[in-house]
Structure 1
Amino acid sequence: MGLLSEVVLLPLAPARASGWVIKQVLREAERVYYDPAAVRAELAQLEERLEAGEITEEEFDRQEDELLDRLEIGLRGGAGTGEGTAR
């Protein structure tokens, strides 16, 4: 039965392979997005922008909250599990 199902599903192989590739790319993108080192670097850049007067205190607070949420998810190990994609 396994061979028969593979033969029947063979025309769908490119679509199944594309789905697998998309999942891998998404997993890697989430891993990079939630990487604690990258988030800490963004926090440092954000603070530099505040000190340089490029952004307001309110904008700093908003962006800092978003970055701290990402950092928390990254430190919990939720990156790459789909946990960070729903809000």
Structure 2
Amino acid sequence: MGLISEVLLLPFAPVRGSGWVIEQVVREAERIYYDPATVRTELARLEERLDAGEITEEEFDEQEDELLDRLESATRRSAGTDNGWTG
């Protein structure tokens, strides 16, 4: 960008900076959410909750399916084959 456009856009610098920060937070949240180790830990905790009688078999099955979908998506992401489709 030229000097003039930089000077004219200077008042919008806080907005652009905030957008960058939000983007970084979203990336980190997605990294943690799709981390296979995190998903496996959650699966183990889910099984512990079932064994302790804290949740029903039906609740376990629903939550397990969601976690396994996340794990599959994490595997695709790490392999570079995820095309953004979540269906």
The bucket for the TM-score relative to the shorter chain is: 0.7 to 0.9
- Quote the Cα distance in structure 2 between the aligned partners of 1:73 and 1:12: 37
> TM-score normalised to the size of structure 1?
0.86
State the Cα distance separating 1:51 from its structure 2 match: 1.2
After superposition, give the CA deviation of every residue in 1:11-45 in whole Å (9 maximum; x if it has no partner): 00010000000000000001001100000010011
* TM-score scaled by length of structure 2: 0.86
Percent of aligned positions that are identical: 72
Q: Which runs of 4+ in 1 moved over 2 A?
A: none
Unaligned runs of 5+ in 1: none
Map of 1:77 onto structure 2: 77
> What do you get for the CA RMSD once the two structures are aligned?
2.0
Instruction: Please give the residue correspondences for 1:8-87 in structure 2 after superposition, counting only pairs within 5 Å.
Output: 8-77=8-77, 83=84
Higher relative contact order (CA 8 A, sep 6+): 1
Count residues with an aligned counterpart: 83
- What do the CA deviations read for 1:21-75 (whole angstroms, capped 9, x no partner)? 0000000001001100000010011011111111100000010011011111111
